[in-house]
Amino acid sequence: MKVAALQLGSMALGDAKLDYYWRICASKGVKILLLGEYVLNLFFKEIENLPSNMVAEQSERHLESIREFSKIYSTILIAPLVIFKKGKLYKSLVIASKGEVQFYHQQRLIPFDHWNEARFFANSLPKSPKNPPVFEIDGIKIAPLFGYEAHFDEFWLKFKRLDVDLALIPSASTFDSLNRWREMLKTRAFLNSCYILRANRVGEYQMESSTWKFYGDTLWVKPNGEIEDSLGEKEELLLGELDQGYLEEIRRSWAFR
């Protein structure tokens, strides 16, 4: 099964690039296209300073385009999007296919002083999180997980119980975290005997005293814990091939699942 991850900075002002890459993926028989965090919207620190109605209008325009594109292209889109509902903003993920959309609200949000999504968004943060959505394509079980959520064992235990074969992880990683992310996802893939597709954002956010650089390094990780492919720090598209036979071989060999 073919999958793809689109590595971009913010395209908050238009959908031309999304249309372009989605069309390419569909023409190549790609089943899933994953976007990074804060690609359809501006970065979090920028959203913090915008009126909610402006963020809502931006997201609604994207959502309308996503619905229309998903009617045209057979590839399923998985994309983080900030949702406005009943006067509140929610950090969510859209799963779009055949004109229909499903939402998953993030259940673990970054709480740091310099980056506090937990305080800003209205997402429910349950003590015991619910199962992320699991869907199936060609016998492969697939589930999304936000970048920050990927640090919590409880989600991976759920994935193991749900027999997830492919974890989709959008992120907006910055600072000096590249190597930590690589080691974490390699370990998660190996111990859970699953493939991992991680789409990371690129670009920069300028603070008064520093520049936050989103370094890319979008990854395709095999269930043996090895990185099969990765991207640099510019706009690129990663294509990966999930081998179900190899996945079953790894599970028999290591018996982790």
pTM exceeds 0.85? yes
Cα–Cα distance, 52 to 48 (Å, whole number): 9
User: How many CB atoms neighbour CB 137 within 10 A?
Assistant: 16
Q: Domain 2-254 - what CATH class?
A: alpha beta
The predicted pLDDT at position 210 comes to 87
Per domain, the residue ranges of the chain are: 2-254
SS (H, E, C) the chain: CEEEEEECCCCCCCCHHHHHHHHHHHHCCCCEEEECCCCCCCCHHHHCCCCHHHHHHHHHHHHHHHHHHHHHCCCEEEEEEEEEECCEEEEEEEEEECCEEEEEECCCCCEECCEEHHHHCCCCCCCCCCCCCCEEECCEEEEECCCHHHHCHHHHHHHHHCCCCEEEEEECCCCCCHHHHHHHHHHHHHHCCCEEEEEECEEEEECCCCEEEEECCCEEECCCCCEEEECCCCCEEEEEECCHHHHHHHHHHHCCC
pLDDT mean by block of 10 residues, the chain; 257 residues: 98 89 98 98 95 95 97 99 96 98 98 96 97 97 99 98 98 96 98 99 90 97 99 98 98 96
Burial label for 101, CB within 10 Å (0-12, 13-18, 19+), is middle
The predicted pLDDT at position 23 comes to 98
Cα four-point dihedral sign 131, 135, 141, 142:
negative
The predicted pLDDT at position 246 comes to 98
C-beta of residue 7 within 8 angstroms of C-beta of residue 144: no
The predicted pLDDT at position 21 comes to 98
The predicted pLDDT at position 209 comes to 83
